[in-house]
Amino acid sequence: MTFCNIKMKIRKKRALKIRSKLKFLKSIRLVVHRTSRHIYAQIISSDNFSIITVASTLERKLNKNLQYTGNKKAAKVIGEIIAKRALKKGITKVSFDRSGFKYHGRIKVLANSARKFGLQF
């Protein structure tokens, strides 16, 4: 087994542990996913079947303004956008689901930016 496979296995295990705790809360979730080139955020309803709002670095409006989409600056912009879109829909309180990623770097910047612009978690 290669190092990358081991790392992926650990992240998936961590993600399952986080999600199992969030299932009992029955709350709206802010789910974050990152790759080396992009970062994605979506707000999922409490029934886990419908997506309320989405923001990612793949959007054309954001791509024009950002020089590179895989850094902390892009994560900060995505946090701001997802918070504003959630507030427009009347959502203020969410549970943060980091999808097994460690809470540092781009994930932390996105969370802090979302908090700064009005989301509570």
Place of tokens 């793949």: 58
pLDDT at 19: 74
Distance CA 30, CA 64 (A): 25
Model confidence, pTM: 0.84
How would residue 3 be classed by pLDDT, with cut points 50, 70 and 90?
A: low
Asked if 69 and 35 count as a contact pair (C-beta separation under 8 A), the reply is no
> What does the domain layout of the chain look like in residue ranges?
27-116
Q: How many CA atoms lie within 13 A of 82 on its CB side?
A: 35
Q: What is the overall mean pLDDT for the chain? A: 89
Place of tokens 């997802």: 82
Phi-psi region of 69 (alpha: psi -120 to 50; beta: other; left: phi over 0): alpha
- Tokens representing 25 are 């809360």
For the domain 27-116, what is the CATH code? 3.30.420.100
Phi-psi region of 54 (alpha: psi -120 to 50; beta: other; left: phi over 0): beta
User: Using one digit for the tens of pLDDT, what is the confidence trace for 13-70?
Assistant: 888 777 777 766 778 999 999 999 999 999 999 887 899 999 999 999 888 888 999 9
